Chains A and B, each alone.
Chain A
């Protein structure tokens, strides 16, 4: 990790506290990765057969608009120039204009991001808690009922298509039982959404003390969050189970038991030692849920980034699609950054 640096630099690097070194070393990797993301999104649109300018503007574009965009993109010049111009536009926050909504893509994305983030944040917290909890139960009660049930669930959860589970939930819990609120968006249509503070309706309504907004938005979250959790907690459980069981059977845990440490201490020790793989799984999951959100948002008319992406695909809205892919990649990049930093923080064995 440490490049060959001159003596004084090395010394001042060593003098930094370990957490600072971990964060700095990771942040230094961001620019090249970001460059890679931009390159891929650039190439993605270049894969399109036909005139990119025409495709980016859609069929209704006037010849003047096409010509002007051609010049802006530098299509009459080499690929390198086009890429440089592309980078320049992105640095100025210009991701083009959506063909479908006719708004700047950046604006569209910013408007919709909080909806998706709220959904996947809650889903992720619940998934991790349930997945890790079940894994611990299964390992501690090995050979018992919990173990068999979780094994069955782990196998079944991996085979469930999330879009189908979502539909079943709507059918049974909304249509038949009538317990769940309607699958139409984040909040009841007759309510005014709370003013944007964090962008999360649940938090914003609490912050502004708007109780009816809070119950409505929390109610609307139940089915989509449950859908994502049911489908993904199985995978998290299996991963955690493997890691946790390995630790739980390891010599140092047996030794701790021989030292008379109580069971709760032993579970806590095992869990702390299983954190690195759990953190990795959580990071991977956060990125993965962005993909899952595409399907689940469509079913629940969520109005977030996922639904926006689906509309982009259906309408061949390439600027919007390009913007979404870029945002997804940057998002994943940031999540992995946090994961790597946490991973190294919890494991004192990693040298930095």
Chain B
């Protein structure tokens, strides 16, 4: 991985750099943040960006930069945990309901159809509201919403793969159900799900922030990007732009990072574009 490797792939470079930045923010939040993310300081309320407060302060005088840094933990961890859980449940379920075509498979599929027929944000909002507005409930709800996404993608791949001649050929070579499913079908069916993994994390970040924005997620003074944007919304038309602007940029960069990585993953996972062995 030389310098030129990265220079030739600006998208991958940007994605990787953003990811690194976020990992640093998560791990070293305490050292990086100049102030406490939750301590109100009414004397320094709504100060514009300055040397003391590089990104200004919000209505209760909390430092915007420190809050953005600490919020990375909540926003990213919630999104990644939720999507990872959905992936770990959705992929095997999709494999099974694609491979075995029984009534149970059909029923599970109908259930997924049903969950997905609700507008994502509406269902998320209702579920969080009913379960209790707590951060881990947000993660739980996101996981529920994303399981069908992964299961469906994998199932669609499995359905087309199981009819392919190389599966018949594997059967002729003595492969049983387990071997066909896990050694032949699964590796070929994973690409869309893996790419979706990264896209879904981006979507989860947007959903988490959106839920907090309308007040259906975490509550003040917890540092969370959507909540921070929302806390600045009232003062925006008075000319106080920094409270809403900067956390929004954090959201955009975080989502962009995963979108870029997803694109790179798609290219990397295509077996016909890698060429070990002989080159023609």
Contacts and interface: CB of A to CB of B under 8 A. Distances in A.
A113 interface: no
B120 interface: yes
A290 B122 contact: yes
Interface residues of B, number: 42
A158 interface: yes
A3 B99 CA distance: 25
Contacts of B239: 175
A168 B248 contact: yes
B186 interface: no
Interface string A220-247: 0000000000000000000000000000
Given A161-B252, A295-B210, A329-B117, A313 B215 contact: yes
Interface stretch (A44-52, A104-112, A209-217): A44-52
A67 interface: no
B214 A288 contact: no
A325 B256 contact: no
A167 B233 contact: yes
Nearest to A333: B117
Q: Is the interface of A mostly helix, strand, loop or mixed?
A: helix
A321 interface: yes
A309 B215 CA distance: 11
Given A160-B252, A168-B245, A328-B122, A294 B117 contact: no
A318 to B, nearest CB: 8
Contacts of A159: 202, 251-253, 255-256, 259
A167 B244 contact: yes
Contacts of A312: 129
A257 B245 CA distance: 50
Nearest to A160: B252
Contacts of A175: 236-237, 239
Contacts of A248: none
B117 A164 contact: no
A292 to B, nearest CB: 7
Given A159-B202, A159-B256, A290 B119 contact: yes
B126 interface: yes
A336 B116 CA distance: 12
Contacts, number: 128
A295 B214 contact: yes
Contacts of B130: 44-45, 47-48, 318, 321
B153 interface: no
A257 to B, nearest CB: 27
Interface in A319-336: 321, 324-325, 328-329, 332-333, 336
A313 B129 contact: yes
Contact of A161 (B117, B206, B259): B206
B200 to A, nearest CB: 12
Contacts of B24: none
B125 interface: yes
A170 interface: yes
B216 interface: yes
A325 B118 contact: yes
B205 to A, nearest CB: 9
A61 interface: no
A291 B125 CA distance: 9
A161 B248 contact: yes
A47 B214 contact: no
B94 interface: no
Interface string A159-174: 1111110011011001
Nearest to A182: B237
B166 interface: no
Contacts of B248: 161, 164, 167-168
Interface in B42-92: none
A316 B130 CA distance: 8
A202 interface: no
Interface in A19-68: 33, 36, 40, 44-45, 47-48
B126 A321 contact: yes
B131 interface: yes
A100 to B, nearest CB: 13
A352 interface: no
B229 interface: yes
Contacts of A321: 126, 129-130
A294 B121 contact: yes
Contacts of A163: 209-210, 213, 226, 229-230
Contacts of B114: 36, 40
Interface in B186-202: 202
Interface in A290-316: 290-292, 294-295, 298-299, 309-310, 312-314, 316
A170 B239 CA distance: 11
Contacts of A325: 118, 122-123, 126
Q: Which 7 A-B pairs have the closest CB atoms?
A: A291-B121, A164-B248, A159-B255, A291-B119, A159-B256, A313-B129, A290-B119
10 contacts: A155-B256, A159-B202, A161-B210, A162-B210, A167-B229, A167-B236, A174-B237, A309-B122, A310-B216, A325-B123
Interface of B: 114, 117-123, 125-127, 129-131, 202, 206, 209-210, 213-216, 226, 229-230, 232-233, 236-237, 239, 241, 244-245, 248, 251-253, 255-256, 259-260, 263
